Amino acid sequence: MQTKQLLVLLLVILVSPALLFAAGTVSGKITYTGTPAKMKPIDMSKEPSCAKQHTTPVTTEAVVTGPNNTLANVIVYISAGAPDESATPTQAVTFTQKGCQYIPHVLAMHTGQELKVVNDDQTSHNIHPLAKVNREWNKSQPPGTPPLSEKFDKEEFIPVKCNVHPWMHGYFAVLKTSHAAVSSDNGTYSLPNLPPGKYTITAWQEDYGTQTQDVTISGSETKTVDFSFKAKPY
């Protein structure tokens, strides 16, 4: 009897954390309907040190599509119901300038989270986040200088540009939550580590705007939440 009781106890001990700390996942795919505008080719001839880094033609990145009508670079995040909103992650996010482009094109970060901006090119860039809610600043970053360290205090989708290279465009999505993801090259995203609860998921695409859906997580299941945006022809 003792062994049996012990075994049951062990089982309960092993299983209960999973029940107590059940974490679900919301994942899905972002697609579009209609025909998206053609991306424009970028002429980098005025910046030879960048032009030579690209072997294939470079285009603007306002709408990046993947196979089967999917959309990349869509930010998907918990806009309501997110747990631990006040916890600012301690690790930094990195924004890199390489080949006179921003990598990644859209970067999600928590308010107050450290942003590192790296210049990986042989030319000077200036980082100019055109913030309207946060402070607007503008800093020069010549090649070979250390990464810049900045942060934003308020929630905002901030367009970023380089004045020296007018084709460079990116976005900072400063969010009140760390539960955010950027859709991949084939339009998929995943938001793991969600405790049971009701959530509002918002998807944001820089040209197509936002969409929201509600989802409820009850345990450690994976719920699928797909978004479909109407493409604009121009």
Partner 1 sequence: MKATAKWLLICLAVIPAVAAFAQETHVGTLTGHAAEGKKHYRRYCIGCHGPLGDGNGENAQWIDPKPRDFTAATFKCRSTPTGTLPTDQDLFNAISRGFTNSNMPHWDPLTSQNRVDLVAYIKTFSPRWQSEKAGDPIKIPAEPAITMQSITHGYELFQKMECWKCHGQQGRGDGPSASTLTDSKDNPIRPYNFAAGADDSRFKCGVTNEDIYRIFITGLDGTPMPSFADVIQPNDAWDLVHYLRTLQTNRHSKENEVLKAAGGKIPTKAPDSNPPAQLDNKGSGSGN
CA dist 55 → 50, 52, 87, 135 (Å): 11, 7, 42, 37
By C-beta, is 21 or 137 nearer to partner 1? 137
Q: Taking Cα atoms as reference points, which of 196, 204, 117 lies closest to residue 161?
A: 117
3-state secondary structure of 112: coil
By C-beta, is 94 or 188 nearer to partner 1? 94
Residue type, 202: T
Please give the backbone phi and psi of residue 6, each rounded to the nearest 5 degrees, phi first. Answer: -60, -45
| Contacting residues toward partner 1, per CB under 8 A | 46, 49, 123-124, 126-128, 130, 132, 135-142, 145, 148, 163-166
CB of 132 to partner 1, least distance (A): 7
By C-beta, is 31 or 141 nearer to partner 1? 141
CB of 95 to partner 1, least distance (A): 16
CB of 130 to partner 1, least distance (A): 5
CB of 11 to partner 1, least distance (A): 55
Alpha helices of the chain — where are they, by DSSP H?
A: 2-20, 48-51
Return the structure tokens found at 226. Answer: 């797909």
Return the structure tokens found at 204. Answer: 């944001």
By C-beta, is 54 or 132 nearer to partner 1? 132
Return the structure tokens found at 150. Answer: 């900045």
Distance between CA atoms of 113 and 153, rounded to whole angstroms? 8
CB of 59 to partner 1, least distance (A): 18
By C-beta, is 38 or 139 nearer to partner 1? 139
